[in-house]
Structure 1
């Protein structure tokens, strides 16, 4: 059989050893040795060339190794869903009992979760993909970034992720911990801000409260409000990313703060993440400056 015909019988150049034997190659592994024209991808799986496999070929080989009914999950499925997951491993759920090798994780699932064909590959839902990806992580920050991205992009909701973590509890402690923290914060940046605030031990801030001036006009809703000294802390994670109208709203908000006599510290999320000590110094200095002058006549109000 000519190699062109053989490749037509394969899937992206990936084929099982069983299929090769049925096509007249009783010992295909002889062609997979050093310098051979083919290469062994996994036990029972051959790639019909000896160059680096593409990612699609790696996925095809992983699914062929896993057997019928398998589905991609974890970091690779997250990326296919448009989420920024780390990890080069390929994680596949299978109803069978095949074992993984190298960077291939094969996990038996019973029952198998629903899967959808995306880009030619069966993928689990974004919720299951995110939970399984986090099961392979050891960093709270990496898990938080992935979970927050999934929520912000509308692929998942906090409740759908909690439900998935409850259904698939093995190894999901990190997911559940991150979701609990995010439940107390509106963003990853706010989570980092809360941590920094606890560490530097200034007066206890109030989070996401609405402020009004002496004439009962609404001033703003700072991310953190140090009520005893009249200091606002804004984590401007959105205003500098979405467009001119958001920028205009930020300027108008800052003008209202200034008119009411409120000192405000503005922090970008990347500085909070990458330079927390510098942010801490700025916040302490602003807190001292706010405490050294009369507190402005503003108050917290309840907004229906």
Structure 2
């Protein structure tokens, strides 16, 4: 990958460059002034390098492709390469490249030789260009769940970006402790209901300090656990064994637990709330076991 100006700087005539980039030629033009020194379809990596050459010095990769370089997986499919450039630069978007001029460029981090925006900035930049609410939640949740950033870092970045309420609503369950789209649905359902306080993804230990579990939702007042158990995760041999062992620990510790399929949070919200109320009442009627949070 090279610019036409770089080729000219080493003595290649502009006419030679143009001839080699003609249809059927040895090279091809990917972006204005950016040449792929072969005639096949560019790879994702070649598109990223071409985008940065097009954007010029000081440009920074952000958005979905930046998050992929950090190793995140729950990302929307996109061919768009999102690049940040200084606010006074006149470079325009072209082809698969979205150029965003910014007066608050982050300090880039080198990821496989590419200047890349920090994870919080890349998440918010990607979220701003992702219409699917679930995809936005999945990106935010994975970034936090896998330790790439703190929820507060996403909130701070969103404040700096001065963006609208839709992204703030997507971030609320993550700030509350949810770590997946299903848990975000559960968080919203609980918030809409007149139920006792619930905490999310906290570790539970018995009186002796022995670990019991880390439930999706935990009502400490009543020692009640809510698990959002998907068929895909828990149906396999290992998942099924782990779920049985977890439920056995709950039972031995005297914890009332309710298991809910993720799909029912949207298809049967009223029924799920009724089940929660009944399970919470059961927990209320028995002596609360001695437990502590980690």
- After TM superposition, is the score higher than 0.5? yes
CA distance 1:289–1:146, change in 2 (3 Å): closer
TM (norm. structure 1) is 0.72
CA distance 1:50–1:294, change in 2 (3 Å): closer
TM (norm. structure 2) is 0.74
User: CA contact under 8 A between 1:208 and 1:221: conserved in structure 2?
Assistant: no
User: CA contact under 8 A between 1:37 and 1:48: conserved in structure 2?
Assistant: yes
Which residue of the partner structure matches residue 41 of structure 1? 30
Which residue of the partner structure matches residue 24 of structure 1? 12
Q: Distance in 1 between matches of 2:284 and 2:103?
A: 62
User: CA contact under 8 A between 2:229 and 2:262: conserved in structure 1?
Assistant: no
Cα deviation for residue 242 of structure 1 reads 9.0
Q: What runs of 5+ residues in structure 2 fail to find an aligned partner?
A: 205-211
Q: How many residues align?
A: 271
2:151 is aligned, of 144, 147, 158, to 158
1:80 is aligned, of 69, 81, 85, to 69
The superposition leaves residues 141-179 of structure 1 with CA deviations (integer Å, 9 ceiling, x where unpaired) of 11111011101111111111112222222x454432222
1:298 is aligned, of 280, 284, 287, to 287
Which residue of the partner structure matches residue 3 of structure 1? none
Q: Distance in 2 between matches of 1:21 and 1:123?
A: 29
For the aligned residue pairs, the C-alpha RMSD in angstroms reads: 3.9
Which residue of the partner structure matches residue 250 of structure 2? 253
Q: Distance in 1 between matches of 2:7 and 2:264?
A: 53
Map 1:127-138 → 2, pairs under 5 A = 127-138=120-131
Which residue of the partner structure matches residue 226 of structure 2? 233
CA distance 1:300–1:180, change in 2 (3 Å): farther
Cα deviation for residue 185 of structure 1 reads 4.0
Cα deviation for residue 128 of structure 1 reads 1.0
User: CA contact under 8 A between 1:94 and 1:106: conserved in structure 2?
Assistant: yes
User: CA contact under 8 A between 1:114 and 1:124: conserved in structure 2?
Assistant: yes
Q: Distance in 1 between matches of 2:123 and 2:179?
A: 17
Q: Distance in 2 between matches of 1:206 and 1:274?
A: 21
Q: Distance in 1 between matches of 2:191 and 2:171?
A: 19
CA distance 1:243–1:15, change in 2 (3 Å): farther
Which residue of the partner structure matches residue 90 of structure 1? 81
User: CA contact under 8 A between 1:38 and 1:50: conserved in structure 2?
Assistant: yes
1:143 is aligned, of 136, 147, 155, to 136
User: CA contact under 8 A between 1:16 and 1:64: conserved in structure 2?
Assistant: yes
The superposition leaves residues 29-78 of structure 1 with CA deviations (integer Å, 9 ceiling, x where unpaired) of 33323222211111111111110111221111111000011110111000
1:63 is aligned, of 48, 52, 67, to 52
SS in 1 for 2:285: coil
Cα deviation for residue 109 of structure 1 reads 2.1
- Bigger Rg, structure 1 or 2: 1
Q: Distance in 2 between matches of 1:60 and 1:273?
A: 41
